[in-house]
Structure 1
Amino acid sequence: MHASATSIEAYLKEIPEERQQVFIKLRETIVATIPKGFVEQMSYGTIGLVVPHDLYPKGYHCNTKLPLPFVNIASQKNFIALYHMGIYANPELLQWFISEYPKYSNQKLDMGKSCIRFKKFDKIPFDLIAELMQKMSVDEWINCYESQIKK
């Protein structure tokens, strides 16, 4: 479910009222803890944190006009989604997250390849998300991307 919003502010206004506060807290947690160099912008109809072209001129291999994506957050129909490309590309980071999750939440982990789905908005493990954001720098993500995804 992609929003029609073309700015972060407009996207936030489109979020249903019952999840707006928690979504904003998730966004603030990510922005406050992600390493320097990532830039927040609209990306794929969601709020994204990307590696800008000035740091990685090659851009995203699927469309080199786009910056390299790293993290996106989205308000989907039945859940809030956190998309983290580092978890998708780095098996050690994925295993760390899976093993740490039960320490922060009594909810069953609901994940896809890069997507973590939160259906109970009052159960989002913000402290764990903050730790996850600090696990990979821009340079580490570029190296991981080039070695694991862009082969």
Structure 2
Amino acid sequence: MAPVAPADPAPADPVAAYLDAAPDARRPALTRLRELCRAELTGFEEVIAYGMPAYVRPGEPAGEVAWADQKQYVSVYLMRTDVRDAFAERLAGHDMGKACLRFRHPDRIDFDLLRDLLRATAAGPGPVC
């Protein structure tokens, strides 16, 4: 019986690999988004969930924030209903689904709004949709 070849090892930093695979035009905005998440979501674990970077409180089963490079936009998933409700007025002018905030142009990402959303998320646990 022939030996089985080992599976490809997981990258040491799967989010860095995710960024490396992103289109050149979006990579700076996605890198900035990652840096913002890592700075504001202290104590959260950065993982790949459902094929995208996500941020999970240790010991919790679900992430509270995630982001992705989609075909037509950069998406930020805000899974905390209390945070979305608290920022309803500021989110009203944006392309927002139930939990998905979409930015069609990476150069128009509202990083000030995202920083405030991340800070509100990090302030304490809340209901995840």
Contact 1:38-1:138 at 8 Å conserved across structures: no
**Residues 1-151 of structure 1 aligned to structure 2 (within 5 Å):** 7-34=14-41, 36-53=42-59, 56=60, 59=61, 68-86=62-80, 89-90=81-82, 93-101=83-91, 108-137=93-122, 139-141=124-126, 144-145=127-128, 149=129
**Offset of residue 138 of structure 1:** 7.1
TM superposition score normalised by structure 2 = 0.80
- SS of aligned partner of 2:95: coil
2:69 and 2:27 map into 1 onto residues whose CA distance is 9
1:82 and 1:129 map into 2 onto residues whose CA distance is 9
1:139 and 1:132, CA in 2 relative to 1: closer, same or farther beyond 3 A? closer
Contact 1:118-1:124 at 8 Å conserved across structures: yes
> Which residue of the partner structure matches residue 65 of structure 1?
none
Contact 1:51-1:138 at 8 Å conserved across structures: no
Contact 2:40-2:122 at 8 Å conserved across structures: no
RMSD: 2.1
1:139 and 1:21 map into 2 onto residues whose CA distance is 29
1:50 and 1:125, CA in 2 relative to 1: closer, same or farther beyond 3 A? same
**Offset of residue 139 of structure 1:** 4.5
Q: Which has the larger radius of gyration?
A: 2
Equivalent pairs, count: 118
TM superposition score normalised by structure 1 = 0.69
1:138 and 1:50, CA in 2 relative to 1: closer, same or farther beyond 3 A? farther
Divergent runs of 4+, >3 A: none
Q: Determine what percentage of the aligned residue pairs are the same residue.
A: 31
